[in-house]
Chain A
Amino acid sequence: NAGVTQTPKFRILKIGQSMTLQCAQDMNHNYMYWYRQDPGMGLKLIYYSVGAGITDKGEVPNGYNVSRSTTEYFPLRLELAAPSQTSVYFCASSYSGSPGETQYFGPGTRLLVL
């Protein structure tokens, strides 16, 4: 299994541009998550999904959108990129959301907005 994969690894955006960060998992996990990690900070949850067609906001959802049409994919959309969205973005997945269920993280996408 490839686990959780993310593309691209690195991207530079200009202010106002849009892009989609891709995330895929091949573990048949129901739950998927998007986090951002700012320098010297912990991860903050942007959005999560408990299954295809079901998404919910996390701690920092403003400026982002998600969709989940299949179990495998959970893309994150940035509309009108701003310098404050410069960060490293991690996608994660887990089989369920119950306590003790491990979240598996992808390698991350580094985004720079100039």
Chain B
Amino acid sequence: QQQVKQSPQSLIVQKGGISIINCAYENTAFDYFPWYQQFPGKGPALLIAIRPDVSEKKEGRFTISFNKSAKQFSLHIMDSQPGDSATYFCAARRQRQLTFGSGTQLTVLP
């Protein structure tokens, strides 16, 4: 079964702190790992993504760390801001289909 396990379910961080969200997968056939950000009442939007042959990708304050041997990847949000408060989903792609994690509700306190 294609599963992506995401943790934590919720996360509260102070403004300026680092937010870390973790995901793990089982299927080694996944070939693309995106992270989506979703604000209440909106559809998910692509935030950042990584291929399995890369160990880290950074875009501004957002970084994906990828550990292929452990089959884990994580999202780091540096200098977290109240505007980052949203639900974050990791996902993994195989054969045109995305499998999503269960989501992490991030709250950044001012």
Contacts and interface: CB of A to CB of B under 8 A. Distances in A.
A42 B36 CA distance: 11
Contacts of A105: 43-45
A58 B102 contact: no
Interface residues of B, number: 26
Interface of B: 2, 4, 6, 9, 31-32, 34, 41-46, 49, 51, 89, 91, 93, 96-103
Contacts of B100: 42-44
A25 B44 CA distance: 16
Contacts of B49: 100
A58 B42 CA distance: 22
Given A31-B96, A43-B89, A99-B93, A92 B102 contact: no
Contacts of B103: 40-42
A107 B42 contact: yes
A31 B93 CA distance: 14
Given A31-B96, A105-B43, 9 more contacts: A4-B43, A45-B99, A48-B97, A92-B43, A97-B96, A99-B51, A102-B46, A105-B44, A107-B43
A102 B45 CA distance: 9
Contacts of B43: 4, 90, 92, 105-108
Interface of A: 4, 31, 40-45, 48, 50, 58-59, 90, 92, 97, 99-100, 102-103, 105-108
A99 B44 contact: no
A17 B51 CA distance: 43
B102 A45 contact: no
Contact of B97 (A40, A45, A90, A108): A45
A90 B17 CA distance: 32
Pick the most buried of B51, B93, B101: most chain A CB atoms within 10 A of its CB: B93
Contacts of B6: 42
B46 A42 contact: no
